[in-house]
Amino acid sequence: MKSTFFIRKNFLIRSVAPCLLVSVFILAPLGCKRQKEPPAAVNNEIDSVVDTVGTTPDTVYTLSSELYTADPSAHVFNGRLYVYPSHDFESGIPQDDLGSHFNMEDYHVFSMDSVGGTVTDHGLALHLDDVPWAGRQMWAPDAAQKNGEYFLYFPVKDKEDIFRIGVAKSNKPEGPFKPMDKPIEGSYSMDPAVFEDSDGKYYMYFGGIWGGQLQKWSDGEYKGEDKYPADNEPALSPKVALLADDMVSFAEEPKDVVILDENGEPITTGDNDRRFFEAAWVHRYQDKYYLSYSTGDTHKIVYATGDSPYGPFTYKGVILDPVLGWTNHHSIVKYQGKWWLFFHDSSMSGGKTHLRSVKMAELKYLPDGTIQRMNAYVEP
């Protein structure tokens, strides 16, 4: 099916209704009134007052009005922009700290040939029932291509309720994808993100704490209990592994991706504004590697830079201020000469944190290579 991007310009709508609505197929927000200091809680889903000091983007595009989508991974294949999000729906699972209410069970792939133009929903790409080893919760995916073959990487809990990372293959970027019989050996936790370097090597970044179970692992073994470093100790790190030539296995044991502060010391567990929580993503700009990620309970997308895909990475700042809803998850891609930030919020559902919608806005760099901080908060 096809739909059209919804565009929100940066102006205030003053009316009796909370925001002006417009849509091609169903209602979707066009010009919701913004406020610089969002409320401390929206349906009890944001648990602290958040700062919104970033620059407001000129235009924010919404991917789809027909499906709830989240956790977007964007890539350019064959000159066309593809987005691989997770697919939210109302499953009726009560909300808890482990994210049980994020009970997604399939993936759709979207594509477009111009920003702001027609968006194609290519339909069902992979379903939970297609994966023989899967139990529940298909969370944030990613994709890659090599030699004309396309790979969809996805985290899902196995029959023992442990997150593993699976892979499915297709001869088309939109799928449908056929899953492998087993998860990637040595993989665990969630949020796989695959980065292709200029030398043709592919690296997978993964991991997430709390519901992502990273804190339950040690030395590549599942311990089954939460174990976090003390607040003054180095925080848990995302993982990275070089992918083998077959793109469905690791060529090495996963390594820690160390994130340093301005003094060259590892970011600590207690540094909630800067420590890694989930959603690692790597891109390259002007010969620097940029690691970006979510801070989780402080609701920001932040970034660090380094000289190697393995790191270490030095913290630089915030990319995206908190959005409506508890989670914040993103990707960054260059398309048609501009850089774009993909993210999600809960504006389409009126603030329900498990019913989100993917957005995109232009990402801008300053002359020194730092990223201009963005505020895309929309009042419900």
What are the φ/ψ torsions at residue 322 (nearest 5 degrees)? -55, 145
Q: How far apart are CA 284 and CA 380, in angstroms?
A: 35
Q: Assess contact for 130 and 103: CB atoms under 8 A.
A: no
Contact 60, 8 (CB under 8 A): yes
> How is residue 45 written in tokens?
């889903």
Whose CA is closest to 58, among 335, 338, 333, 312?
A: 338
Catalytic residues: 71, 278
